[in-house]
Structure 1
Amino acid sequence: MLNPLRPYSARMRRLLGQPQPEFTDGAVETWQEAPGGLLEFRPALYLPGQPDRIRASVFANLPETVEALTRHGEAAEGPTMGWRFRDIDLVDGVLYRNGAEQHLRNRRRRFGLAFRPRQSVSGALYETWTTNRWFGSWLMDALVAWPLAQKTGMAMTTAPVPKPGSHAAEYEAMLGIAPKRALGDLHFDELILFGDLSNNADKWRRQRDLRQSLLAGRDPTPVPGVFLLRGMGGDMRFLQNETELAEKLATQRGFLVIDPLKATAAELIEACGAARAIVGVEGSHLVHGINVAPAGAAIVPIQPPDRVAATLKQLSDRLDQRFGLVVAEGNDTVFTLGWDDLARTLDLFD
């Protein structure tokens, strides 16, 4: 039943310093969508001293990030989980049950917790806060979780319909993704959530199925590599000599240089679908290329030293690609990478 006090209860717990209960502890049913297990991981390729340039990481602590980037051999990955809930409220992008909350997106109403539900619904969400925050996370994680929600027959998202002509709209059309839209404040009579963070064998399979679907009916031309420009788009991560590196890759290595903001999703898939390397500043735009690049392709994100992430390494693992660790010099927002560092890193894949 509707309970307008739930958001206030969770807020009071935080203000009083009380422990927050785990949201999933309130599930009326818990199951394993896919088992975990041991998987074989290949290490990143890198020049001597590259890991020593890493000063800070995102999405995981520094030791965990370095381990994920450099591990070699078998490693254990957990299962993919499913949870069924009843009587859940969605208020300003946050899911509430008694005393517990789970954020799906940033709040828009700073102080307003008043619950103004438009309707009561039931649905299976395939999103997380991360996939709603970063387009690349949506592209590599939400699209892979979509089949889990789809098979329930009540797939749903809190995201609005993508703008016509946007990359998101193109991908949804290509893949036949047509969820129900849970917009605004809602009450869920029944809600299904998934825990799909583990890089297990089933996620590998779904990732490869996604690549196959995106390449269906296409015959991309093999190219030595694609450099995907970042420029000043998205969160501030400015490679000061990006233009210089792009020109050298084009003239000396035969790379295609593409600005994703000026290309359609279909054009990006055609360009990257048979590329032997995908290179560019670490970020969402690289996922266009990694998602469709062939097995064995070199994936070389240029990492800011104060913002190193292992997420694209995990994606390349799922697609049997090879990952290059190259760390720029500077900080988390403005940095430079020497041509020699990039060229010699690419040579490691020969």
Structure 2
Amino acid sequence: MPSFRPLMNRLPRLFGAQPRAFADLAVERWEICPAEAVNITPGIWLPDQIEHIARTEFGDLPDVLGQMQGDPEEMTPATMGYRFRDVDFVDGVLYARGAERHLRERKGAGLTYPRPERSLSGALYESWIGNRWFGNWLLNDCLAYPLAAEAGRPVTSAPARGGHVARYEELLGMRPERIGNVHFDELILFDDLHNNSNRQARAQANRARIMAGRDLQPVPGVFIFRGASGDARILDNEAEIAERLEADYGFRTVYIDRHDADQIAELVGGTRLIVGVEGSQLAHGVIGMAPGGTVLTLQPADRVTTSLKLLTDCWRQNYAMVVGDGTAGGFRVEWDQIRRTLDMISDRNG
């Protein structure tokens, strides 16, 4: 039996009406953690770094500057749960009567779809950004999983995978039901992207699960090598920087294509300093490093972002940045900039 929900949802927009927010269709909503003021620590960067920025990503320059400035009393919205009825999940999109929410890029573009034959009730913890980037899956979606488990039946459209993802799911006790196209008799969703005390506590609980039973040894610092993995951010002198950090500071280098999740956890769990090109591979460091540590990101001038700072804020870590010369297709960061930034980090840590 075909469903015309994509067509019916699109018609109001053709006449200039704003699409309905998905949350407006909830039959029940509840507060998991109230809005509250939290301390957002300032970022660490050299005074001249603003002059190096050619273009920003995931926000305008004022957003970047605001994040780096910090705020000791930033008002953080509540974490919310929502219950819906009669929702279809088809081709990566949630369809309700009058609204839709995209969790994956659609493979088709029709205005109708066959209504799913399978029906169930469950709690979805996945997000568009988590399905797109590994780092957001590990540091956002995996934080929402405990909410889904507490609410009832955790479900995800993400297929079973191997490597780091499978091991993290095992370490975090994640056992979701994997779904394709389904009809939800009842569906629970969460608004859980705000770094209030509840979310910060869940972050530390996830870290404790990752580190449980490990005999962690102190490590001066860890460089997480990105190379050509993920979206292009090619640091032309990445190997040279890794070698210099090893020689001058006693760093250890992690290669995400060579080291498994347990090997990485053993290293990052014993350090207070993670360095690497800005990107999802640094999530291995964020989830494992203890509060009070620092993540230093190396960024191309045409793709400067503080999106990772939103996550280090949640894990109660410091965030630092060096902006290099060049583009995401090929850029360099001079050693003197790194050295002076490391001095600033040392000064903050006392």
1:45 matched residue in structure 2: 44
The Cα shift of 1:195 comes to 0.3
Give the aligned residue type for 1:261: D
Q: TM-score with structure 1 length normalisation?
A: 0.94
State the 1:13 CA deviation.
Answer: 4.2
Do 1:13 and 1:99's aligned partners in 2 also have CA atoms closer than 8 Å?
no
Residues 16 and 192 (structure 1 numbering): CA distance in 2 closer, same or farther, change over 3 Å?
same
What does residue 53 of structure 2 align with?
54
Query: Partner letter of residue 93 of structure 2?
Result: V
Secondary structure class of the residue paired with 2:316: coil
What letter is aligned with 1:258?
V
Partner of 2:172: 175
Q: Is the 8 A contact 2:123 2:148 kept in 1?
A: yes
Displacement of 1:311 in angstroms is 2.5
Q: 1:345 aligns with which of 337, 341, 344?
A: 341
Deviation, structure 1 residue 208: 0.9
| Deviation string, structure 1 residues 289-345 (Cα, Å, up to 9, x no partner) | 111112222210112222222232122222222211211222233221111111110
Residues 7, 91 of structure 1: 8 Å contact kept: no
Equivalences, count? 346
SS of match in other structure, 1:151: helix
How far apart are 1:131 and its partner, in Å?
A: 0.6
Determine what percentage of the aligned residue pairs are the same residue: 43
**Residue in 1 that maps onto 2:308:** 312
Counterpart of 2:101 in structure 1 is 102
- SS of the residue 1:18 aligns to: coil
**2:284 corresponds to which of 284, 288, 291:** 288
Q: What is the CA RMSD across the aligned residues, in angstroms?
A: 1.7
1:44–1:69 CA contact under 8 A, matched in 2: yes
Does the CA contact (< 8 Å) of 2:5 and 2:111 recur in 1? no
Structure 1 alignment gaps of length 5 or more = none
Query: Residue 130 of structure 1: CA displacement?
Result: 0.5
User: Of 224, 230, 238, which residue of structure 2 is paired with 1:228?
Assistant: 224
SS at match of 1:291: helix
Superposition deviation, residue 111 in structure 1: 4.1
| SS across alignment from 1:262 | coil
Pair 188,305 (structure 1): closer, same or farther in 2 beyond 3 Å = same
Rounded Cα–Cα distance in structure 1 between residues aligned with 2:226 and 2:13? 38
Give TM-score, length-normalised by structure 2. Answer: 0.94
> How has the CA–CA distance of structure 1 residues 41 and 191 changed in structure 2, closer, same or farther, with 3 Å as cutoff?
same
The structural deviation recorded for 1:10 is 2.4
Q: Secondary structure at the match of 1:285?
A: helix
Gaps of 5+ in 2: none
Alpha-carbon distance in structure 2 between the residues aligned to 1:151 and 1:65:
35
TM-aligned CA distance change 1:305 to 1:16, over 3 Å? farther
Comparing 15-24 with 137-146, greater Cα deviation is found at: 15-24
Q: CA deviation at 1:14?
A: 4.5
Cross-structure match for 1:257: 253
Please give the alpha-carbon distance, in whole angstroms, between the structure 2 residues aligned to 1:331 and 1:110. 34
Matching residue of 2:7:
8
Match of 1:193 in 2: 189
Evaluate the alpha carbon distance shift between residue 3 and residue 202 of structure 1 in structure 2; reply closer, same or farther with a 3 A threshold.
farther
